[in-house]
Amino acid sequence: MLSLIAIAKNEAADMAAFLGHHQDLFDELIVIDTGSTDQTATIAADNGALVFPFTWCDDFSAARNFSLEKATKKWALCLDIDEIIAQADFDRLRKLLQDKPTCFMLPQWNYYDDARHQEWQPVRGLYP
């Protein structure tokens, strides 16, 4: 019912953790590789993702539209490799999907490791 879409380039260092964290929430993992020179595509495939190459054309919307064409589930959620859905919200999101919604509004929390950002909050491994 739910596809995860990630557009990535040279994200080998974080790919396995990103996919592993979300594996229980999504029914389909899709990675659009925009020209990685590291092991991004291999690591994604080894962690259960469908990997599709996309030649970067300096147009993020073209990459996003390409990614949405590859999704086969009713719902698609596009995340960056450094974004995560809090594990505590997995069951809530699945329940919402079963209630046949027409749209979602998801709050987004940004955490920084740099206290110079005005909205800085310590992460400490916990997410609201």
Decide if pLDDT at 128 tops 70: no
DSSP-derived 3-state class of residue 30: strand
Q: With beta carbons less than 8 A apart as the criterion, state whether 3 and 28 touch.
A: yes
Let me know how long the chain is: 128
Region 54-79 average pLDDT:
95
DSSP-derived 3-state class of residue 16: helix
pTM: 0.84
* DSSP letter (8 states) at residue 119: T
Could you confirm whether domain 2-85 is CATH 3.40.50? yes
Q: With beta carbons less than 8 A apart as the criterion, state whether 12 and 36 touch.
A: yes
- pLDDT tens for 5-61 read 999 999 999 999 999 999 999 999 999 999 999 999 999 999 999 999 999 999 999
The C-alpha atoms of residue 93 and residue 95 are separated, in whole angstroms, by 5
Question: In which band, very low, low, confident or very high, does the pLDDT at 103 lie, cut at 50, 70 and 90?
Answer: confident
